[in-house]
Amino acid sequence: MKKQKLPKGFKVIKFNIYWIYGAIFLFFLLVQFFGSDSTKQTNWQEFNSRMLQPKKVEKVVIINKEKAFIHIKRENLNEDFFQNVNKKSFSETPNYGPHYYFEIGSVETFNDNLKEAQKDFEEYEKISPYYETKENILGDILSWILPLIIFIGIWFFIMKRMSGAGGAGSQIFNIGKTQGKLIDKDKMKVTFKDVAGLEEAKEEITEIVDFLKSPEKYTKLGGKIPRGAMLIGPPGTGKTLLAKAVAGEAKVPFFSLSGSDFVEMFVGVGASRVRDLFKQAKEKSPSIIFIDEIDAIGRARGKNAMTGSNDERENTLNQLLTEMDGFTTNSGVIVMAATNRADILDKALTRAGRFDRQIFVDLPNLVERKQIFQVHLKPLKISSSIDINFLARQTPGFSGADIANVCNESALIAARKSKKQIKKQDFLDAVDRIIGGLEKKSKIISPNEKKTIAFHEAGHATVSWMLEFASPLIKVTIVPRGKSLGAAWYLPEERQLTTTEQMLDEICAALGGRAAEELFFKKISTGALSDLEKVTKQAYAMVSIYGLSEKVGNLSYYDSSGQQSGFTKPYSETRAQIIDTEVSKIIENQYKRAKNIIMKNKKKLEKLADQLLKNEVIFKNDLVDIFGERKWLSYEEEQLKKTDKKNN
């Protein structure tokens, strides 16, 4: 049977429970309004003069010793004075009484007044009042129903405020229901094409998607569907985007929620929501559950917990563990999770059988950054002169989210300058804005301070250019940004392993600024604070963590478990003195080395500093003009050139 289509503009009105409450309230009001009789209020004087003395009163009834209700004789109701009470309200039905009422004050006073008013009456003409006791059932019902309705209304309002309007928890009866959002397969437009880089991660994820689409391909060989996949990596690397791409590719029901959605102030709500989530996922299997920021509920149990305490978060985690690998079967349900704090997760959660796959999503390398730029530059109106390789080189250590931010910020900067296209300088300004902060043009700097800053930055640039393993310079500026008075941007080589020579070169390059100050001005300043902090940490890491000191030997005092207390050292005082001596020796030797390099290139450094003072900004090309081409080329640079040749 075909469903009839509704005409355009016609909306189906859905049933709401509040309609019942409104109908009940309206019923009581109508009963109170229409059920009321035509009894009019009067007073003793009018009653005595217009009704009692003319002998038109049939009887008087005292109700609850509070009110006197007067009944008028039927033969007198047609008189003009009684026209407003002779018929009932909203009808033509005769009103046989009571017709009037008034407050009597006290029964004794009323009786005395009544006797006094009838002293001249014959005995048969005198009226004696009747006494009745009545209960106002409707009024009593309303007296306790109305406060109850008000209380329920306030309760609903508070619960909406606490749980958030519009979600599953917005109603008190749904507080134990899952907060997960079911993403319609037709609404999710993100696919693997929109995810640049992350080739290994996409390969593993693709296998899971393929299993959901055609499980027979794997099950005929005896394989089982993987229970879960966990995406691990730094913030902004594309974990959530990868999950969205899975939803777009799989074309299966996709439940998306955050780890914090399970956390609630009420006991047992988290576990209840986990049960409800898996129940819904099973009903719609094959399906995918994606839990973002799973560390909110997946933290290792037993840490920092009071003895005998009932930890709601642990109960939620226990229920999740049970649902993922318990006695019940969850065939066709795959759980995906994302976190940037895998070190704090419970080991029972990350074991095989629950999360079978742990997919690491690292920061993109040079080639991957180029691919990410290509994706984010598509919707932008950019100049044809923009070199994507240059942009990739300019953003070392940037995540995918950072690159997206750079592209957006460059568009805003170009729009601010009323440009029709985004140019190279806009991207450079965007990178500077994100890394260093806004330019502080209003900051007052004396000529001597400016000269010191220029020679300091030129010292860094010179030493790094002359060392093989130091990061090559990209850009130097003496324009104040954020908290810094000057800044230099370098392109660090993305290494998997670092040797002693490489670390020593980095320390030497960092000390180049202070060395230039001492050689040219015969004094040093506080401007090298960040440099000194960096080299001190590096030197201590070399000696006490990486075992790169001959005197200390092949020892490491690094605690990967995080259980070591910060108040105690895992070595003796004698060992501490040796470590301190070795650190000082490393730093001082590299400082002397930096001074020697600067002395050999003194005239070139002066030329570079003068150019900085003149232009306030210098680039890699300026260094090439002064020092010549750098002797060494990084492996990533070589790979990028090979990629360009293939594409061209």
Residues identified as active-site: 457
Concatenate the DSSP letters of all residues of 165-220 into one string: TTSGGGSGGGTTS---EEE-TTT----GGG--S-HHHHHHHHHHHHHHH-THHHHT
d(CA 504, CA 589): 9
Strands (E), 415-551: 473-477, 487-490
Which tokens sit at 620? 């890699």
Show Cβ contacts of residue 411 under 8 Å, excluding neighbours closer than 6 positions.
380, 422, 426
d(CA 631, CA 469): 11
Strand partners, 63: 67, 132
The kind and range of the H/E element at 246 are helix 239-250
Torsion of CA 591, 595, 597, 603, to 10 degrees: 150
The answer to whether the CB of 98 falls within 8 A of the CB of 39 is yes
The answer to whether the CB of 407 falls within 8 A of the CB of 416 is no
- Exposure of 317 by Cβ count < 10 A (0-12 exposed, 13-18 middle, 19+ buried)? buried
d(CA 277, CA 570): 47
The answer to whether the CB of 358 falls within 8 A of the CB of 204 is no
Show Cβ contacts of residue 183 under 8 Å, excluding neighbours closer than 6 positions.
247, 253, 254, 255, 256
Which tokens sit at 440? 């502080």
Strand arrangement, sheet containing 487-490: 487-490, 473-477, 617-619
Please calculate the CA angle 454-457-463 and round it to the nearest 5 degrees: 130
Q: Where are the alpha helices (DSSP H) in 437-483?
A: 447-466
Q: Please name which of 294, 239, 289, 284 lies closest in space to residue 262, comparing C-alpha atoms.
A: 294
Q: Is 598 left (phi over 0), alpha (psi -120 to 50) or beta?
A: alpha
Q: What is the three-class DSSP state of 474?
A: strand
